[in-house]
């Protein structure tokens, strides 16, 4: 299942002059979260562009997010401020990309996103997931506020993607001989095992037993070929996680838990060769 990014075909002129005796139209739904997130990604693009390592690639991600959100905001007839973002702080000096990614403007935090409509939640949540992934790739595990695991039904759906990924990576890792590559595979499996355990515990009695067998991954005889196979195993975890976001709409803590899982899946996928995209797991 994939979720398509939604736009809005109706333009409302919010800056039209007032008419005596008529109430001024209320801001469109989600405008506060959209504008706050837009300000954040503009700030993050600047910080990432000035950062080393993953910085240039993350800057391109945030630039694409800015373009998309700007289009959505324009479609709602809302005019964003041309001034600086209304963040509490820059999230650290230039170079401290991980801290910047996890510093949310008022209106852009997970608890704010949970209150948005189904039309915009997937897009906004995907931005938040990339921020957690970016923090991880910048060298620091993100700290999410008020995390609880998603409902059992969501965890069961995620297990259906995580379990085959674990098996496939185990098969690929069994053929590795070089120490550095084996170390990377062990680190990847450690993260996948942790997610699998968390999901099984949260699913409880709803969790089905693991299948007796899984399809074997393609045979790969070189490090580059193995990376491609692993990337193909990790990508469905991202898509499956993204597909569950509407199931936790209106619930701040479970949404934050999903973002934790989603951002971890994105960080692993990107680090193993899945091309970074502005809204990972969503189509459009």
Average pLDDT over residues 162-166: 98
| Cα torsion through 195, 201, 202, 207, rounded to 10 | 100
Q: What is the pLDDT of residue 266?
A: 98
At residue 24, the pLDDT reads: 56
Q: For 148-175, what is the mean pLDDT?
A: 97
Asked if the model's pLDDT at residue 13 lies above 50, the reply is no
Q: Assess whether pLDDT exceeds 70 at residue 10.
A: no
3-state secondary structure of 282: strand
Q: What is the mean pLDDT of the chain?
A: 89
Tokens of residue 62, six digits: 């945030």
Q: What's the mean pLDDT in 175-184?
A: 95
Q: What is the pLDDT of residue 25?
A: 63
Q: How do residues 93-107 score in pLDDT, each as one tens digit?
A: 445 999 999 999 999
Alpha-carbon distance of 277 to 237, in angstroms, equals: 15
Q: What's residue 93's pLDDT?
A: 45
**Residue 85 DSSP label:** -
Write down the pLDDT at residue 79: 82
Residue pointed to by tokens 């120490």? 179
Cβ-proximal residues to 213 (8 Å cutoff; 6+ apart), any chain: none
Chain centroid offset of residue 181 CA: 27
What does the pLDDT look like over 257-269, one tens digit per residue? 999 999 999 999 9
CA 281/CA 277 separation, integer angstroms: 9
pTM score: 0.88
Q: Which residues lie below 8 Å from residue 140, measured CB to CB, with a gap of 6+?
A: 98, 99
- State pLDDT tens for residues 108-144: 999 999 999 999 999 999 999 999 999 999 999 899 9
DSSP one-letter code for 244: T
CA distance 123 to 135: 19
In this model, does residue 226 exceed pLDDT 80? yes
What's 250's DSSP letter? Answer: T
- Cβ neighbour number for residue 234 with a 10 Å cutoff: 26
Indicate the SS3 state at residue 82: coil
What pLDDT sits at residue 4? 58
Stretch 71-76: mean pLDDT: 95
Residue 283: strand pairing partners: 4
CB 238 within 8 Å of CB 266: yes
Give pLDDT, residue 85: 43
Closest CA to 157 of 239, 39, 225: 239
């Amino acid at each position: 299942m994939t979720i398509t990014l939604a736009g809005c075909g109706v333009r409302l002129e919010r800056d039209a002059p007032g008419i005596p005796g008529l109430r001024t139209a209320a801001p469109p739904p989600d405008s506060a979260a959209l504008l706050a997130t837009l300000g954040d990604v503009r700030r993050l693009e600047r910080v990432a562009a000035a950062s080393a390592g993953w910085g240039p690639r993350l800057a391109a991600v945030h630039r694409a997010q800015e373009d998309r959100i700007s289009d959505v905001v324009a479609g709602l007839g809302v005019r964003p401020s041309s001034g600086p973002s209304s963040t509490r702080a820059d999230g650290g000096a230039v170079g401290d990309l991980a801290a910047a990614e996890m510093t949310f403007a008022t209106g852009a935090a997970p608890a704010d996103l949970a209150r948005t409509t189904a039309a915009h939640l997937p897009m906004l949540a995907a931005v938040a997931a990339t921020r957690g992934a970016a923090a991880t790739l910048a060298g620091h595990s993100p700290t999410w506020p008020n995390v609880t695991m998603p409902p059992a039904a969501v965890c069961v759906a995620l297990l259906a993607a995580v379990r085959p990924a674990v098996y496939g990576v185990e098969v690929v890792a069994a053929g590795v001989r070089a120490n550095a590559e084996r170390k990377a595979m062990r680190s990847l499996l450690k993260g996948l095992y942790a997610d699998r355990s968390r999901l099984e515990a949260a699913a409880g009695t709803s969790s089905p037993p693991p299948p007796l067998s899984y399809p074997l991954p393609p045979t790969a005889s070189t490090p580059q070929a193995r990376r491609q196979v692993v990337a193909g195993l990790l990508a469905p975890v991202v898509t499956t996680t993204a597909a569950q976001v509407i199931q936790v709409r209106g619930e701040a803590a479970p949404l934050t838990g999903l973002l934790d899982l989603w951002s971890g899946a994105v960080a692993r996928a990107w680090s193993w060769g899945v091309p970074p995209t502005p809204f990972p797991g969503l189509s459009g």
